[in-house]
Structure 1
Amino acid sequence: MKRPLRDRRPSPAPADASVSTSISDSAAPLRKQRDYRLLWTARTISFTGTEVSKLAIPLTAVTLLTASPSEMGVLTAAAFVPALLFGLQSGAIADRLIRHRPLMIACELISCAAALAVPLAWLFGVLNILWLVVVALVIGTAGVLFRAANFPHVASVVAPHQRTEAMAGLQASYSVASVGGPGLAGLLVQVLTAPIAVLAEALSFLTSALLLRSIRTPEQNEPAPSRGMWRDVVEGLHTSATHPVLRAVLGAGVTINFFAMTYTAVYMLYMINTLEIPKGLIGVLIALSGLGGLLGAWITTRMAKKYGENRVLLFSVLFFPIEILAVGLLTGPLWWKLAALAITGFVTGGIVVAFATCMGAIVLRETSPELRGRVNATMTFAVQGVLALGGLTGGLLAELAGIRPVILVSAVGIALSTIWIWASPLRPRHAPPPASLPTT
Structure 2
Amino acid sequence: MALHHAAFYISNNDNKEQLIDDLFKGRILKPLSELKGELFSDITLKKIIAEEIRHEHFGIIQSPKNSFQKYSEGEKKKLLLQWIIDQEPDYIIVDNIFDHLDVASQESIAKRLIELSQRVVVIQIANRKDDILSFIGKIYVDTDGTFTKYDRSVINNPDSTMYFVNAVPQPIQTYSDFDNPLIEFKNVNVSYDGRPIVKDINWRINQGDFWQLMGPNGSGKSTLLSLINGHNSKAYGQDITLFGLKKGSGESIWEIRKKIGYFSSDMAQQFSRMDSVEHMIISGFLDSIGLYVKPTDIQRERAQEWMNLLRMGHLKKRYFQKLSFGQQRLVLLARAMVKHPPLLILDEPTVGLDDENVMLFNQLINKIAEETSTTILFVSHRKEAGLVPIQIYELFPGDEGSIGRSRK
Scaled to the shorter chain, the TM-score interval is under 0.3
TM-score normalised to structure 2 length: 0.25
Using CA pairs under 8 Å that are at least 6 residues apart, name the structure with larger relative contact order, 1 or 2. 1
TM-score normalised to structure 1 length: 0.24
